[in-house]
Structure 1
């Protein structure tokens, strides 16, 4: 396992342990050996929670759901402090989530959300669910890059309070163009890349949730209306919200509280223009 500093937190380690197929990997797949610690109000935590539910891992890899807003002033969780102390000598930084821990050693395996989700999909689960089907890795990676650069990063820049106005306008156009491409792609499709739910759908759905519940607060009303003018895309988001593995993890109040606790940006007119009534569509 490698431990490297987290960007912006020189004393905060980033744990990169991986779960492999057998004993030679150090961490191999054993029922109830591992435990997840996450907040579903956090996009990374929500991705892992949805993945966990789709794979049916409640008994195999129990999950501990943490409060929406961290309870320590440094942005960490008091409940995770013993794990960090046991895993990093003289650690003084924030005990952040998500965490995959090893019950055998009492230490952290990983804090890297994408790797945690990948390892759960590859080495656990039952019932024939294939979130990362054979030969689909490149397609899933492409969707993840599109979501990160074309939606999340573009929305953040478009809604930033400072910076150059032309850069904000270019980011808004990039965001709209990405959504246009997804709209065309989903016109005659139920899911992103296969005829069943995959990790690409988890990634896109969580990104759309974050766009409407967090980033929208900092966008102007005209851009939010432009974002909403993608009926196939938002119908796709509604369908997945109605799936129990997705909608049951939506903590809308928690997302709002976490966003307002961490965000320093200015609220814009788009905050009043809700795209989806997530509470109505989410299946409980």
Structure 2
């Protein structure tokens, strides 16, 4: 199908507003330092999920604590409604917006996860989700665990960056462009671009286990966080319904392969994902009813991707189990 996208009808993602970096090389006012910062995420959010996975794979848990906002929020921002007294136990705040306003009392832009908060001052340092995981790989290298994989190998960075840009535009953000479109033409354009890109990615992954090289990289992480939410949220809630993920054989096997890899499936809480999308977006789902399905046990079924070879962690090793307090409910 063809469609002409109207700017008035199209969803446009707001840019992040707090883009300072935490660096080890003295290039910013925020130095990498063990125990200084707290990573604030939400299990529901794909952008935050990227940081949770990279933090796990690189073994940064001992030096970078993690606060988890609940799946529900309102105009006051993400809130810590799953914690005792509805407050983050380290920062002592009820709403993430409090940390943004600690950095800027007049802050009125998007209050988003992931966010890095300096614990002592309680202020947000950065919410630059696109840069955060790259900095975990580079700037935080001194704190990587023994056996940490190279998720952003120098030799493949140009290829990873190119794929990341395509995946962001058409898939990561594409499902939102379809779901929040205000007109038929904008929706149909986003829908077409999404599935055209998924078809191209399926072709690429039909003969190779991972997107770039023979190991898991940043590119796989960025694609996977959208795929894992596809059937639970985007297929129905965002009208991305040409096919379910489970009806796209290559991408479904690829997604299950990673789900069953340490550091991926053990970061996913499907109930919180559904509670967020169906419970917060009142303009799309005014009843707030959260669907009972889909069946999740098939995420543990054999995928057969080992036949394509590849070394998931390269010369590294899998991460250990999640820290106490960070485990998610098992599937099945």
Same fold (TM over 0.5): yes
**Residue of structure 2 in register with 1:86 after alignment:** 102
**Residue of structure 1 in register with 2:76 after alignment:** 74
CA deviation after TM superposition for structure 1 residue 275, in Å: 9.0
Aligned positions of 1:252-263 closer than 5 A: 252-263=270-281
Change in 2 beyond 3 A, CA 1:245/1:222: closer
| Structure 1 spans left out of the alignment, 5+ residues | 1-6
Which whole-Å CA distance do the structure 2 matches of 1:221 and 1:154 have between them? 9
Query: Bigger CA drift: 48-57 or 142-151?
Result: 142-151
Contact between 1:36 and 1:99, CA under 8 Å: does it hold in 2?
Answer: yes
**Residue of structure 2 in register with 1:146 after alignment:** 166
Query: Bigger CA drift: 112-121 or 252-261?
Result: 112-121
CA deviation after TM superposition for structure 1 residue 36, in Å: 0.5
Change in 2 beyond 3 A, CA 1:13/1:209: closer
* Residue 217 (1) aligns with residue 236 (2): yes
Contact between 2:17 and 2:110, CA under 8 Å: does it hold in 1?
Answer: no
Count of aligned residue pairs for this structure pair? 270
Instruction: Choose which of 202, 205, 211 in structure 2 pairs with 1:183.
Output: 202
Normalized per residue, the structure richer in helix is 1
Contact between 1:41 and 1:251, CA under 8 Å: does it hold in 2?
Answer: yes
**Residue of structure 2 in register with 1:39 after alignment:** 42
TM-score between both structures, scaled by the size of structure 1: 0.80
* Residue 28 (1) aligns with residue 31 (2): yes
TM-score between both structures, scaled by the size of structure 2: 0.70
**Residue of structure 1 in register with 2:136 after alignment:** 120
Root mean square deviation of aligned Cα: 3.3
**Residue of structure 2 in register with 1:245 after alignment:** 263
Output one character per residue of 1:72-117: Cα deviation in whole Å (capped at 9) or x when no partner: 5433332434423321134467754321022354422101211222
| Structure 2 spans left out of the alignment, 5+ residues | 1-11, 80-93, 302-327
* Residue 163 (1) aligns with residue 166 (2): no
**Residue of structure 2 in register with 1:4 after alignment:** none
Helix, strand or coil for the counterpart of 1:15? coil
**Residue of structure 1 in register with 2:319 after alignment:** none
Output one character per residue of 1:153-204: Cα deviation in whole Å (capped at 9) or x when no partner: 4444555675235x54444333222122111111121211022111111001
Which whole-Å CA distance do the structure 2 matches of 1:80 and 1:160 have between them? 24
**Residue of structure 1 in register with 2:90 after alignment:** none
Which whole-Å CA distance do the structure 1 matches of 2:199 and 2:16 have between them? 39
Contact between 1:212 and 1:276, CA under 8 Å: does it hold in 2?
Answer: no
